[in-house]
Amino acid sequence: MKAKEIAKGLDVAPRNFRDFRLVLRGMLERGRLYRVKGQRYAPPEKTNLVTGRLAVTQKGDGFVTPDEGGQDVFVPGLSLESAMDGDHVVVRVEGRPRGRSPVGRVIKVLDRAHETVVGTFRRSGSFGVVHPRNRRISREILVAQGDQATASEGDVVVARITTFGSGKMGPMGRIETVLGKSSDPGVDILSVMHDHGLPLAFPDRVVSAARNAVARRRKDPGEHRTDRRDLHVFTIDPSDAKDHDDALSIRSLGGESWEVGIHIADVSHFVRPGDEVDLEAFKRGTSVYLVDRVIPMLPHELSTDACSLLPDTDRFAVSVFATVDRLGRVREARFERTEIRSRHKLSYEEAQAVLDNENSIDPETDEALRALAALAEILRERRKDRGSLDFDLPEARVLLGEKGEPVSIRQIERLESHRLVEAFMLLANEIAAREATQKRLPILYRVHEPPPTDKMRDLRTLLGRLSYRVPKGKISQKDLQAVLKQVEGRPEEKLVSTVILRSMSRARYDVRNLGHYGLASDGYTHFTSPIRRYPDLWLHRVLMHTLVEGRAVPEEWEGPVLKDKAGRCSVRERVAEAAERESVDLKKVEYMERHLGDEFSGTISGVTSFGIFVLLDEVFVEGLVHVNSMRDDYYIFHQDRYLLVGERSHRTFRLGDRLRIKVARVDKEQRFIDFVVVKSTKRSKKANTSKKAKLQH
């Protein structure tokens, strides 16, 4: 329809038509409408168009995740035009292969994710070229002679893109900042920060606003606050944590039921809608935990001081009190705005020592910890019974020296105390989601949709190659649970868990309650970390406004505004995850650089036509054994069976095989590690037995 036809259908008065056209223009810019031939407008879904966020693979192809949810659209590299990884784009769906993702072409970029690019500067005649560090940005940035600033050959620079080019013509830009040589201390992490657009510091006006908010509201509890300083409350966090946004309490109600208090820092008391701190927090979306530093969502005055639930200090909190019976059923739940006083700041290790009867805090705290642990186990079993997936993947922590160099890589042991805290955080999140759903409150749900059909089909095939069978038909959470149970304690446990996890859809924020597949939950949200996640802060604001203060939801908190918040928070979360992962990977590569020639044991985690990827046991580093280094035979790749097989020797390399490798080559700038095989070992007994049975059959 044309603009005038739409205006007529909506009874827009002629005097308001100019403003109405501005509304249409705004909808065009956000991808809510699309203009077709004859100056007519149509919603994207009526013209085979999809708007969404683009993710580019290292091979140069892309996938667009639709704003409205649903199946991703595959975009071949030649059909990306000038779009880059992270851009908000419009794609035209040009094909729908059976059993696969729709195939499309980018026809418009709505919002650019990269105004600047970090890369290595090289000279090419009178021009300069910036080679992006981000391997998902395959196109080089051309820099004219007058725009090269003080950059010299090999410098790591920040280039601002001035022209994005097109499918045939590459982008152009100018050098904005010279960070230094890649070998200079600190340049690697600075590169990560610039590459992902992470802020180096808070603007002065935001810091000033935070200080003023603390000065005005620290001594003013406001209305509707309940004094709960009599409760025995304590925090459990990593030993080096600086912000403490959650605490626990428990008391017996008799009759085999307990009242659990889950107390969360009341950030919404200090950060009000639309103020300077709120706008900056929404812009950041989340705190970012890089390998050597934290980039907080909130200024220090709030995150590690006024809002942090420090011990022996009165603090404002938002508390959910849940009455839980011996079967883990929530009989009653209520929200309160409280004032609490934490008795102890416990580390996970200190709490675990109490649970192991190896140490004591004091009789009351010891008893509370044991009661919470017993109840957490009941809640965990209840979640497991409904199909919740617990991947329990080991995490690696890179320990740094004084100059930021990696000195060791250690596994973070997952303790019972970790699971204790997790159980009650999950409980609080589900209670908040259930309350919001019942009252139809405008919140950001944490949704996790079922895996796409094609990924489940590929997963079934891959698990079969590893000798793990799943029943025919639709793969359920219980089926995946059974596989995870089977691999417990086996060499391939990490590999199988990772493969299953990668087949899942990505969790995100949405205004609709679409459930959470991984947790087998009908409704889930984020409530427990308002210091470091904006969706939690928003949820607190809504719950306190409606449930505690008894007021109606303001109109401006609903509709398109909330939808935009969900999209923005999902994007910021993905940026944070990518930056965190990259900062760790950089240090892993640097660490392995000092282990050239050393031998390690590992498991084959990937098989391709050009070689095999091996995940090391001790340091959780992945590297490539290239086929060119396997000189004992000519190896043929069997794609359908995920195998490399020697043509003469019939020596076989498959997923899950154990290998002894040697570190052969490391390139920090390109971020790759090459291994060579020292020797292979037999697969697990179960895998060999399964293979034998298959041959006999």
SS (H, E, C) 582-632: HHHHHHHHHHHHCCCCCEEEEEEEEEECCEEEEEECCCCCEEEEEHHHCCC
pLDDT at site 167? 66
User: Is the pLDDT confidence value at 686 over 80?
Assistant: no
> What's the pLDDT at 689?
33
**Would you say residue 186 has pLDDT above 50?**
yes
Residue range 543-553: mean pLDDT, rounded: 95
Band of the pLDDT at 179, cuts 50, 70, 90?
very high
Across the chain, mean pLDDT equals 90
What pLDDT score does 225 carry?
96
Residue 474: HSE in the Cβ half-sphere, 13 Å Cα cutoff: 5
Judged by average pLDDT, the poorest of 54-58, 249-253, 490-494 is 490-494
- Calculate what percentage of the chain has a pLDDT beyond 70: 97
Alpha-helix runs per DSSP H in 202-332: 204-217, 267-270, 276-284, 300
Q: Which of 97-106, 254-263, 365-374 has the lowest mean pLDDT?
A: 97-106
For residue 677, the cross-strand partners are 661
Residue with tokens 């045939």: 168
In the prediction, which pLDDT does 26 show?
A: 85
C-beta of residue 346 within 8 angstroms of C-beta of residue 412? no
pLDDT the model gives residue 693: 29
pLDDT at residue 692 in the model: 29
8 Å CB contact between 373 and 355: yes
Check pLDDT > 90 for residue 414.
Answer: no
pLDDT, position 249: 98
CB 525 within 8 A of CB 512: no
Residue 614, CB-side half-sphere exposure with 13 Å CA sphere: 29
Question: In this model, does residue 690 exceed pLDDT 60?
Answer: no
pLDDT 10s digits, 592-606: 999 999 999 998 888
Cβ(244)–Cβ(308) below 8 Å: yes
Can you tell me the distance from the alpha carbon of 213 to that of 278, in angstroms, rounded to the nearest whole number?
11
Other C-beta atoms within 10 Å of 273: how many?
A: 14
460 or 189: whose pLDDT is higher? 189
Count the helix, strand and coil residues of the chain and give each as a percent rounded to the nearest 5: 35, 30, 35
Binned at pLDDT 50, 70 and 90, residue 58 comes out as confident
pLDDT above 70 for 517? yes
Q: Averaging pLDDT over each range in 116-130, 448-462, 489-503, which range is the top one?
A: 116-130
At residue 687 the predicted structure's pLDDT band, cuts being 50, 70 and 90, is very low
What tens digit of pLDDT does each residue of 354-405 get?
999 999 999 999 999 999 999 999 999 999 999 999 877 767 889 999 888 8
Give the dihedral of Cα atoms 354, 360, 364, 369; nearest 10 deg.
-10
Q: Residue 317: which pLDDT band, with cuts at 50, 70 and 90?
A: very high
What is the per-residue pLDDT for 455? 83
pTM for this prediction? 0.83
Please give the pLDDT value at position 688: 38
Question: Phi-psi region for residue 581, left (φ > 0), alpha (ψ -120 to 50) or beta?
Answer: alpha
**What domains can you pick out in the chain, each with its CATH number?**
3-109 (2.40.50.140), 116-181 (2.40.50.700), 204-449+505-576 (no CATH), 595-696 (2.40.50.140)
pLDDT confidence of residue 419: 95
How many residues are there in the chain?
A: 697
Asked if residues 134 and 84 have their Cβ atoms less than 8 Å apart, the reply is no
Of the listed ranges 263-267, 281-285, 630-634, the one predicted with least confidence: 630-634
CB atoms within 10 A of CB 328: 18
Least confident of 126-135, 240-249, 336-345: 126-135
Residue found by looking up tokens 């001081």 in the block: 305
